[in-house]
Structure 1
Amino acid sequence: MILREETAADHDAAREVQRAAFGGAKGDVVARLLDALRRDDPKWTGVVAEDGGEVIGHVLFTTSLLDAPSRLVDVRVLSPIAVAPDRQRQGVGKRLIEYGLALLEERGVPLVFLEGDPAYYSRRGFSPGGDHGFRKPSLRLPDVAFQVVKLSAYEEWMTGTLVYLHTFWDLDCVGLR
């Protein structure tokens, strides 16, 4: 398996992996979200997992803001992430996250947030955002699902409220459904 940064040539295959992994109507929503996030955030970072020339996994990291007391801070949100159904439970998602976080570390990103299952993401270095003094962007988001990982560019003054990119709101993709 090869992990690498996404290119424009990967967009269709990554969209189909997302659609298949989420399935049905939810898969269609996630595919639309993926396209809209790429359109609306010029700083997005995508990672693909490829095996035998086929994209088998994909994760997108988009820009959001942390409304900190002294100023707004560019942070990233991990969403969406997917692995082809026939390749799930083989460590692909874990490796996508690790590779993506390493890229963001190199780029000086201080924090990465997500909405997700704490049983899964805690094993990837994430912990509840509220435990670190961060405020979630919506009451629809369960406290335990609002998670963060601090990278080395993080500084103690970086606290406050996560403000999602408008795209998540436009497509009603805030809060676990």
Structure 2
Amino acid sequence: MIQIEIRQEQPADHQAVYELNKAAFGQDGEAKLVELLRESDAFIPELSLVAVAGEEVVGHILFSKIKIMDKNGRSFDSLALAPMAVKPARQRQGIGGKLITHGLSRAKTLGYTAVIVLGHEAYYPKFGFAPAITWQIKPPFDVPENAFMAIELVTGGLQGVTGTVNYPEAFGQV
């Protein structure tokens, strides 16, 4: 089995990441989202990670800054995990799991306390995600409750945090 290295994305990886997202999602919306997020204030270079097999980029994950706004106008900083992609020929080999695990650990090391994801309800709970409604955190759009999830990176990371997720503008542009 080939060794997979997880590392921070470099500018030389941008085209490979674009093509990877386009292939994994069957369209270029997520690839364009990554490009828009890179140019935004929500971008955290240390949390744009690639999975590399030899010299080939086979996976990518991006965590970006979001705000959770409560009904009183208070805002809480958090992260969104989106998108995550693995080259179609390399899917179901644990690469996505390695990206998630490494990314969550890196986010915690950088001082972040929680992550929100809109994803497959049977996949993300393996990594500790639970429905965000558990914390009274809601999406800004209509999605199945079990697909909109959160994880505390530290115990109590979402204590006292309630409200609606406010995604960066880039999410509405694709």
1:145-170 Cα offsets, whole Å, 9 max, x none, are 11111111715122222111111112
2:108 touches 2:153 (CA, 8 Å); kept in 1?
yes
> Does residue 1:122 correspond to 2:128, yes or no?
no
Distance in structure 1 (CA, Å) of the matches to 2:41 and 2:87 = 25
Which has a greater percent of helix? 1
> Does residue 1:62 correspond to 2:70, yes or no?
no
> Does residue 1:135 correspond to 2:138, yes or no?
yes
Give the total of aligned pairs. 167
Amino acid at match of 1:65: K
Distance in structure 1 (CA, Å) of the matches to 2:42 and 2:119 = 24
The alignment's C-alpha RMSD in Å is: 1.6
1:54-110 Cα offsets, whole Å, 9 max, x none, are 100001111110114583222111111110111100000000000000110001111
Identity of aligned residues (%): 37
Q: Which stretches in structure 2 are left out of the alignment for 5+ residues?
A: none
Amino acid at match of 2:144: P
| TM norm structure 1 | 0.88
Amino acid at match of 1:48: V
Distance in structure 2 (CA, Å) of the matches to 1:56 and 1:28 = 17
| TM norm structure 2 | 0.89
Deviation at 1:124, TM superposition (A): 1.5
Deviation at 1:43, TM superposition (A): 3.3
* Residue in 2 that maps onto 1:34: 34
> Does residue 1:16 correspond to 2:12, yes or no?
no
Partner residue of 1:84 out of 84, 87, 100: 87
Q: Which stretches in structure 1 are left out of the alignment for 5+ residues?
A: 172-177
